[in-house]
Structure 1
Amino acid sequence: MAEPVRITFLGGLGDIGRNCAAIECGGDVLLLDCGVLFADETMPGADFVLPDLEYLRDKADRIVGCICTHGHEDHIGALPRALDWLSFPIYASRFTLGLIRKRLEERGNLHRTNLHPIGDHDRIRIGSFDCEFIPVTHSVPSGLISAIRTPQGVVLHSSDFKLDLNPVDGRRTDLARIGAIARDEGIRLLLCDSTNSEIPGSSRSESEVGQVLKGVFAAHPDRRLVVAAFSSHIHRVQQIVDAAVASDRLVATLGLSMKRNFALARELGLLRLPDQMVIDVTGAERYPPERVCVVSTGSQGETRSALAMAATGDSRWLDIGPDDAVVLSSSPIPGNEARVARMINNLVRRGAHVVHSGQLDVHTTGHGKQDELRILHTVADPEYFVPVHGEARHLAAHANLAERMGQPSDRVVVACDGEQVELGDRGLRNRGKVTTGAYYYVNGQMVEDDQDLFGERDLLGTQGVVTVVVAVNGAKGRLQARPRLVSRGWVGADNVQALERDGSDEVAAAVEAHLASGNADGLERVVRRAAGQFVSHTTGRRPVIVPVVVNL
């Protein structure tokens, strides 16, 4: 009997983010991606969310490496935190490694890993795993499909992918190689991107966006063009600078990540632009508007992003006004719609003309839709299938698509974070939860898993806080001074003094009644209840009540 292969999903099955899986065989653990999930409105104050890396704590000395399929944060962003306490080599394309190196240098833990560049069609051993890397088209350069040969056959991981017949860099998803593996060896298990599994048809080619962008540039010959895109989307940036050069515009970058990625891509030959066409954004104002194109971060309206700050007049480098046309070359990520709309309104108030994906096709997805998924399934012809990279609805839709194509339902396994599937001689089975799949929230320098924290922050942010300070003499059973109520964010300045005075009286009465009973215990509970009842009765609000009892 051959050694079984176990795959534990530490993130990415239930969210589009924090992608990470641990593949185990023969005592070795191979990680597949290690990304973050960006915090949403349900996580106030959190920066991002890590995969369930606690599963690896007792396996730390068995990790033989981490394959990073491409350079998006939801696939590489957790590496700096993981390498705080783990140590393992990282395998990725040169561009992806360039992005990773910068993050590890900033974190100060580059010494805890070795970075191994891999190229298209490279085949190497990582521990006991025989790994081949196949080019794939996505919205970031140098993405890789992984064909991992194990004692149980080939495990094929699609990475994030689309089938673009006319990619900007000419680098197509290599279906021929996938087909050859399927024909010669067979693909035992397919793990496949589910992001657009609900959407019929095929994705538009990235090259089509370039033609639209050229039209936008031509339509604004007398304005400065400010084009916002994801800083890792070098194919989009290439088309922006192509349109700029064609209209004799000089190119400046705005935003730290755009500046870094722009330079890295040029260094690696992934972004082509004559040196004489590049200027620093600090000098952009010296040129006539029609001679300048600024490529910026902030297309999602992030609060401190370069474009959002320019939209509110807070940018050090860019003063947006009537001479500007601003192009948002992206679509709002679900949950960001209100933030993007607010930024657009701010730009319009400053006199700029704004172009976005709701008006023109200035964006296309990097993930394959249903027709592309069908093609990959047909070419790979896997014995077993697990949908990955998606929310629950995406995974279910992808499983349904595979079954409609003829994949037997008992050979399709829908898993979720924390679950482990085992590929053995008798097939594929879901072994259920082997770890919690917990969210680990990064709050500044802290990592926490307490979700109740966000409930408190939500109350603080929407209802405010009332602090009640009570001084008592427990030995004599009496109140030493009038209780003091101090509030923030509870009610407005016109009402706060009177309410704090009346609330103090209510708390004093409750404390005196409690002490008169001869019991000095449980005073914090008495203070919280009295203050809470007063606050709720008089204002109908539910601020956080913080009782402070001082026993003199």
Structure 2
Amino acid sequence: MTPRPSVHVTFLGGLGEIGRNCAAVEYEGRILLIDCGLMFPDADMLGVDLVLPDFTWLKENADRIEGCIVTHGHEDHHGALSFLLRDLSFPLIGSALSLALARNRIEEAGLLDRTEMIVVKDRERRTFGPFDCEFIPVTHSVPHGFSTAIHTPQGTIVHSGDWKLDLTPVDGRLTDLAAIGAIAEDEGIRLLLSDSTNADQHGHSRSETTVGKVLYDLFHAHEGRRIITTCFASHIHRVQQVADAAIAFDRVVATLGMSMRKNVRLAREMGLLTIPDSHLRDIEDVRDTDPGKVCVISTGSQGEPMSALAKMAAKESKFIDLDASDTVILSSHPIPGNEMNVSKVIDGLVRLGVQVVHSGIEDVHATGHAKADELKTLLSIAKPEWFIPVHGEFRHLTAHAGLARQMGVKKDKAIVCEDGDRVEISDKGVKKVGRVPASYLYVDGSGVGDIGHGVLRDRKVLAEEGVVVVILTVDSDSASMLLGPEIITRGWVHASEAEDMLDECRLLITDEVKRALSGGQKSDVEALGRIVRRVTGKFVSDRTRRRPMIVPVVLEA
């Protein structure tokens, strides 16, 4: 039998962290991307605005990229496209809503001419180059997401996208397990790649419609008070349920925050969100409306420092002044790493006398990701020969691989991969065959990739230990020190309170520099700088047990 051509899958992000989701399927010399998302920075990534996948391998193979499937409309799956399209050009494939949400950032970056938007529909089967793709509806916390089945010479690869089993979704669009089951029974699923976010949580996720009931009860309990709700701007179903509760109690609805305003307008135009014109108000007009008849739907559910909610909590909003007559409902759950920001915002709201309702008090949020029993259900229906968990931290991936083994996937056929891993699907099976660059690419201001771990490490030292700058001027001809040393400190000791200690440090530096100059190091500025750093660093460490950044500045006259 003639060997069938191999298929490769390369993981560029999303395996080992929440965010940066990006994978590439490759055969017949062509590459099809599945998502290209961003990640929001951890607390120790000082000054970083966004984190992207490493684009090195994609740039090296730019002429082979057939396109990118956008599985759904969340930025951790499409937000990096507005950076990748600066250097590459390829079409985007997805549902009308997913592409419309991805389009926002791309348009802001002025890169719409670098791509083409190819809209696909539920259960549609399309060919892109050599890739035979089938788009399977799944339920998630943003409408119109897809699982993708890619039919290849090595069998069918199914990528679940982000999904859950919600039997009563707001829009009635169910996760199509029947379609996945049909593929499994007909041709079989060679490899399943499945969302692992909640793999370590037992049971089933709650239906989104259960949140609507809780919101209705809260609006009833807080009648007569102005209500501000926050959720993700892309969570159109949550926005619909907030609006339904508001309208049921004869409130007008106003949006606050640019992304919320854009997405509500977009969803209404696409017929995905129903809010009558009679109940919709501009945020600038609600000041003159009875507060008990107002519902504001705002951004800021993750405590983002410059978000609309954070500004309200800090009394810096130009639209809303909060006080003890207001209720704020955070209809969300903090993403890992955002807990501190959310806590600060809640604290600020409480200081203003606001009544705050969050997911720790009421069931005002339902996850969009499948939990363990749902994941096992998919595995039982898909019956994959091979399994690789995707989308999650390493603990999630490991837990998901364990579930796959429970459901009959052979131990050696449930493979835990990480960012950068490259796997080959051949007649012999599935195996790792190397790695590609997959480090974090940092966005700091308008710069992409201008900073690395060294810069972040320096920023951390500056933030935690401070800096000591030593400035002196030497005359290379006379081998003498003309000026200094002057010591400037920030974040180590306050100079006016530590003059005696700084004087002692100056004397030590002066002695060592003069000794070096008399020893013949007349114009070796770099050597003198090393001496200053060594002497200052030892003194600082001995006296204060701290390790600030030492910056020697040696000038030649």
- TM > 0.5: yes
Query: Structure 2: how far apart are the matches of 1:283 and 1:492?
Result: 50
Letter in 1 for 2:513: V
Letter in 2 for 1:440: L
SS of equivalent residue, structure 1 residue 482 = strand
Q: How does 1:402-417 map to 2 (within 5 A)?
A: 402-417=404-419
SS of equivalent residue, structure 1 residue 139 = coil
Q: How far did 1:297 drift?
A: 0.8
Query: Structure 2: how far apart are the matches of 1:536 and 1:192?
Result: 50
Aligned equivalent of 1:182: 184
Q: How does 1:115-194 map to 2 (within 5 A)?
A: 115-194=117-196
Aligned equivalent of 1:391: 393
Aligned equivalent of 2:261: 259
Letter in 2 for 1:349: R
Query: Structure 1: how far apart are the matches of 2:492 and 2:254?
Result: 46
Q: How far did 1:494 drift?
A: 4.6
Letter in 1 for 2:395: R
Q: Is the 8 A contact 2:164 2:175 kept in 1?
A: yes
SS of equivalent residue, structure 1 residue 537 = helix
Aligned equivalent of 1:329: 331
Query: Structure 2: how far apart are the matches of 1:232 and 1:502?
Result: 60
SS of equivalent residue, structure 1 residue 209 = helix
Aligned equivalent of 2:105: 103
Q: Is the 8 A contact 1:194 1:388 kept in 2?
A: yes
Query: Structure 1: how far apart are the matches of 2:144 and 2:205?
Result: 19
Is the counterpart of residue 529 in structure 1 residue 534 in structure 2? Answer: yes
Q: How far did 1:52 drift?
A: 2.1
Aligned equivalent of 1:223: 225
Q: Is the 8 A contact 2:46 2:459 kept in 1?
A: yes
Aligned equivalent of 1:436: 437
Q: Deviations over 1:241-299 (max 9, x none)?
A: 01110011111111111111111111111111001111111122111110100101111
Q: Deviations over 1:67-113 (max 9, x none)?
A: 00001111001101100101110001111111121111111111111
Q: Is the 8 A contact 2:56 2:437 kept in 1?
A: no
Match of 2:29 among 27, 30, 34: 27
Match of 1:367 among 343, 366, 369: 369
Q: How far did 1:497 drift?
A: 5.1
Q: How far did 1:498 drift?
A: 5.1
Q: How far did 1:493 drift?
A: 6.2
Q: How far did 1:531 drift?
A: 2.0
Q: How far did 1:48 drift?
A: 1.5
Letter in 1 for 2:176: D
Q: Is the 8 A contact 2:495 2:502 kept in 1?
A: no
Letter in 2 for 1:436: P
SS of equivalent residue, structure 1 residue 29 = strand
Match of 2:548 among 524, 533, 543: 543
SS of equivalent residue, structure 1 residue 138 = coil
SS of equivalent residue, structure 2 residue 12 = strand
Query: Structure 2: how far apart are the matches of 1:541 and 1:428?
Result: 51
Q: Is the 8 A contact 2:533 2:551 kept in 1?
A: yes
Q: Deviations over 1:187-237 (max 9, x none)?
A: 111110011111110000000000001111111111100001011111111
Q: How far did 1:180 drift?
A: 1.1
SS of equivalent residue, structure 2 residue 324 = coil
Q: Deviations over 1:414-443 (max 9, x none)?
A: 11111111111121112132x132111111
Q: How does 1:274-285 map to 2 (within 5 A)?
A: 274-285=276-287
Q: Deviations over 1:504-551 (max 9, x none)?
A: 333222211221222233011011122222323333332211111101
Letter in 2 for 1:255: G
Query: Structure 1: how far apart are the matches of 2:438 and 2:106?
Result: 25
Letter in 1 for 2:531: V
Query: Structure 2: how far apart are the matches of 1:182 and 1:228?
Result: 40
Query: Structure 2: how far apart are the matches of 1:447 and 1:111?
Result: 21
Question: Any gaps of 5 or more consecutive residues in structure 1?
Answer: none
SS of equivalent residue, structure 1 residue 14 = coil
**C-alpha spacing 1:550/1:386, structure 2 compared with 1 (3 Å):** same
Query: Structure 1: how far apart are the matches of 2:107 and 2:413?
Result: 43
Q: Is the 8 A contact 1:465 1:545 kept in 2?
A: yes
Letter in 2 for 1:91: I
Letter in 2 for 1:228: T
Percent of matched pairs sharing the same residue: 52
Q: How far did 1:372 drift?
A: 0.4
Letter in 1 for 2:171: D
Aligned equivalent of 1:315: 317
Letter in 2 for 1:442: V
Q: Is the 8 A contact 1:486 1:500 kept in 2?
A: no
TM-score with structure 2 setting the length: 0.97
Letter in 2 for 1:479: M
Query: Structure 2: how far apart are the matches of 1:333 and 1:407?
Result: 31
Aligned equivalent of 1:9: 11
Query: Structure 2: how far apart are the matches of 1:502 and 1:275?
Result: 74
Q: How far did 1:492 drift?
A: 3.5
Q: Is the 8 A contact 2:489 2:495 kept in 1?
A: no
Q: Is the 8 A contact 1:227 1:294 kept in 2?
A: yes
Aligned length: 551
Letter in 2 for 1:453: V
Query: Structure 2: how far apart are the matches of 1:130 and 1:113?
Result: 21
Q: How far did 1:361 drift?
A: 0.4
Letter in 1 for 2:445: G
Query: Structure 2: how far apart are the matches of 1:122 and 1:492?
Result: 67
Aligned equivalent of 1:461: 463
Query: Structure 1: how far apart are the matches of 2:5 and 2:360?
Result: 52
Query: Structure 2: how far apart are the matches of 1:267 and 1:239?
Result: 18
Query: Structure 2: how far apart are the matches of 1:500 and 1:61?
Result: 60
Q: How far did 1:457 drift?
A: 0.4
Query: Structure 1: how far apart are the matches of 2:249 and 2:535?
Result: 70
The RMSD of aligned alpha carbons is 1.3
Query: Structure 2: how far apart are the matches of 1:18 and 1:507?
Result: 48
Q: Deviations over 1:444-475 (max 9, x none)?
A: 12222621211110111122222111100112
Letter in 2 for 1:446: G
Letter in 2 for 1:304: M
TM-score with structure 1 setting the length: 0.98
Aligned equivalent of 2:489: 487
Query: Structure 1: how far apart are the matches of 2:227 and 2:361?
Result: 17
Q: Is the 8 A contact 1:483 1:504 kept in 2?
A: yes
Is the counterpart of residue 508 in structure 1 residue 506 in structure 2? Answer: no
Question: Any gaps of 5 or more consecutive residues in structure 2?
Answer: none
Letter in 2 for 1:551: E
Q: How far did 1:326 drift?
A: 0.4
Query: Structure 1: how far apart are the matches of 2:251 and 2:469?
Result: 58
